Amino acid sequence: MILELFLSACVLLGGFFAFIAGLGVLRLPDVLIRMHASTKAGTLASGLVMLAVAVVFSDPPTIALAVLIVVFLLLTAPVGAHMIGRAAFRSGVKLWDSTVVDPTASTKLGAHRNDD
């Protein structure tokens, strides 16, 4: 009974956070803010669903696969979001009026070089 409630809570919270991530991608005004919403909420949603999967199918290979998926998401989602944000900033995508930009950011990022 308690296990079923825990699993239901994990799946429902995962679905809720996935919904919030999708809503953030659709409704937020800026590419950087949309990227933030999709990365944070999407990773949390996937982690909660994988936790429920690991508990329901309690055999070691499935648990290992669920843990591997969560670790992969935790490692790749922030890196991907950073690269998307950096590419958007460097390509001059228009930002929201209230987005605060560091005035020295373009010099910190450096000019695009072709080191081939």
Burial 60-97 (b: 16+ CB within 10 A, else e): eeeeeebeebbeebeeebeeebeebbeebbeeeeebee
Residue 115 reports pLDDT greater than 80: no
Distance (Å, whole) CA 52 – CA 10: 6
In this structure, are residues 69 and 85 in contact, taking their beta carbons and an 8 Å threshold? no
3 state DSSP class of 47: helix
Mean pLDDT estimate for the chain: 87
Give the model confidence (pLDDT) of 76-87 as tens digits: 999 999 898 888
**Would you give the DSSP letter of residue 97?**
T
Distance (Å, whole) CA 43 – CA 77: 7
pLDDT at 116: 42
Give the model confidence (pLDDT) of 38-91 as tens digits: 899 999 999 999 999 999 999 999 999 999 999 999 999 999 998 988 888 888
